[in-house]
A and B are shown apart, each in its own frame.
Chain A
Amino acid sequence: MSMSVLRRVLLSPGLLILAVLVVAPITLMALESLRPFVGGRAGGTTGWTLRNYTELTQPAYAYYFWDTFRIGFIASAAALLLATPLAWQAARTTQPALRVLIFGLLISLLFMSLIAKLYAIQMTFGPTGPFAALGTLIGVPARSPQYAQVQVFIGLLHFVLPLATLMMIGTFQNISPRLEEAASSLGAPRWSVALSVTLPLAVPGLLAAFMIVFAACISNFVVPLILGRGVVLFATNLMYTRFSDIADYPSGAAIGVIMLVLAGTMVYAMTAIVRRLVPADVQR
């Protein structure tokens, strides 16, 4: 058996699965989104319409999209803000014990059930938890409905922080420590080294990480489900309620198409940025 035949054999199951289980369902969903919704009937209707999409521009629904973006953006920005110093320390430390500790922490968090973490957050920062005072500190008491936004924010942060940190570790590992030492020897205190050398060189990595984290946040379903208390709903949750509450498949499908387009755009933007800003010999 020649190499190219072997290759084809190895690739075909995967390609088959992709075609049958990804392309076909999504195509079907896209088609369904253009069908009118007939109450009481699940699918099978005829005719084409754009009403499912135009319906979403109404303030009531647009609000959910806005919430998704707003909270997702703030959580992503906070994640990058906290991930960067942690990642820099992990990448630069000369003590192997510290590095292994941080790596270990990050990977355990990745492997740990998100649901478990979310309920832990509920018990810690929720109205009955020991850190509920956090709410009063920032002016949103834990018992108020708006506090759900804070909890969703915390939940998203827990979700993406390990991922963001790991990505930033990669970025900092590819910036030579000699550059920081050179800046230091030329008279720059550490904060000046960070601002004038380290961060400018980390920008492509930061942007790429932000895009990935942001896409993950707006696509997330569980966090608003568990911590949103019905007050905070992401577009993803909206999709589910269209299906589960009123069996409005076409509307759910329309939301799905929009989410797909958004996520895809973000990924495309990320690769474009990386390609523009990272010199070709550094890209793997």
Chain B
Amino acid sequence: MTSTACASVAGDRLAGFLVRFLLIATVLFLVIPIAISGILSFDDREFIGPFPPTAFSLRWYRSFFENPSYISGLFVSLRLALLSAVISTVVGAGAAFALAETRWRARGLVEILFLSPRFIPTVVIGFSMLGFASAIHIFDAFTRLVMGHVVITIPFTVRATLAGLVGVRRGLSEAAISLGAPPWRAFLDATLPLARTGIIAGALMAFALSFDEVAVSIFLTDAFTQTLPIALVAEMRANLNLTVAAVATVFAIIAMLIVAVLDRVAGLDAIIGRGMYRE
């Protein structure tokens, strides 16, 4: 029996090594391109040369700010993302509150309805929105963009608020009502404040999603109103250079900052949850 015993211990160890190797390979696979892009963003050469760079400078970061189409694209994207996030959060969180309170028969169906845009390919949303906007004579690009971006972000604000409401017991608003508050007051005082983290998470996701969106935007922009991603793609098509590396690095840093803030505010453990078998 001892030879099979040794074999199975060896097999167990081997399996352990393989899994660990796979894990590290996966993490490296995810992180390396971002690291390389980060290093390249400081490359001083005018053209994209072989890695690694020999001289470093901030030229690509400067080139971003010196390019008018990038700057206008940045402002358009910021305005668009902000407006879309606000509208989407107000509408989505409101819907989530309404859905969470009910033991309504139609609740499941309505919930699916609100989450449905997530399953519609974004090109379809962009394409169909263009035709629709033309049909009702809305030709302003920014308005069209807001329409499209609100649609794609609503599922996230609804879902995030619902998740945030899971911890809020209905009893709290009922207690407020029993103490004399009318339903809308009970909602404002007892329910709304506790769902804060969910609402904020939803708003953040909506903003990030809108800022990065290409497929919807590409149908709805015009020559004068371009979002930053569209401007980037257009420029890179014509002339691929390392400005995009600088942009990528900035985005990566912002993403990490957002995560750090989320961890400080709510705790990443809380956001992802612990499942049924909390240790």
Contact = CB atoms under 8 A, between A and B. Distances in A.
| A/B: CB atoms within 8 Å of each other | yes
Interface of A: 1-3, 6-8, 10-11, 13-15, 17-18, 21-22, 24-26, 28-29, 32, 43, 82-83, 85-86, 89, 91, 94, 96, 99-100, 103-105, 107-109, 111-117, 119-125, 128-131, 157-158, 161-162, 166, 169-170, 172-178, 189-191, 194, 215, 218-219, 221-222, 225-226, 236, 239-240, 243, 249, 252-253, 256, 259-260, 263-264, 267, 282
Given A117-B248, A123-B37, A222 B48 contact: no
Nearest to B36: A124
B65 interface: no
Nearest to B97: A10
B276 A190 contact: no
Given A82-B22, A226-B233, A7 B37 contact: no
Given A125-B33, A128-B48, A221 B215 contact: yes
Given A89-B23, A173-B277, A119 B30 contact: no
Interface of B: 8-9, 11-12, 15-16, 19, 22-23, 26-27, 29-34, 36-37, 40, 48-52, 90-92, 94-95, 97-99, 101-102, 110, 113-114, 116-117, 119-125, 127-132, 134-135, 147, 150-151, 154, 158, 182-184, 187, 204, 208, 211-212, 214-215, 218-219, 229, 232-233, 236, 240, 242, 244-245, 247-248, 251-252, 254-256, 258-260, 262-263, 268-269, 271-277, 279
16 contacts: A14-B114, A24-B132, A29-B131, A104-B263, A107-B259, A117-B34, A125-B33, A129-B51, A131-B32, A173-B273, A174-B276, A189-B8, A189-B15, A218-B121, A253-B128, A260-B120
B119 A129 contact: no
A259 B36 contact: no
A120 B122 contact: no
Contacts of B268: 100, 103-104, 107
A113 B256 CA distance: 12
Most chain A CB within 10 A, of B116, B119, B124, B269, is at: B124
Given A11-B94, A129-B51, A190-B16, A25 B31 contact: no
A169 B248 contact: no
Contacts of B252: 108, 112, 116
A21 B214 contact: no
Given A21-B151, A189-B8, A249-B131, 11 more contacts: A2-B183, A13-B90, A21-B150, A24-B132, A25-B132, A113-B255, A170-B272, A176-B277, A236-B215, A239-B127, A253-B127
B179 to A, nearest CB: 16
B26 A1 contact: no
Contacts of A108: 252, 255-256, 258-259
Contacts of B114: 14, 18
Contacts of B240: 122
B111 to A, nearest CB: 11
A11 B15 CA distance: 52
Nearest to B262: A107
A85 B19 contact: yes
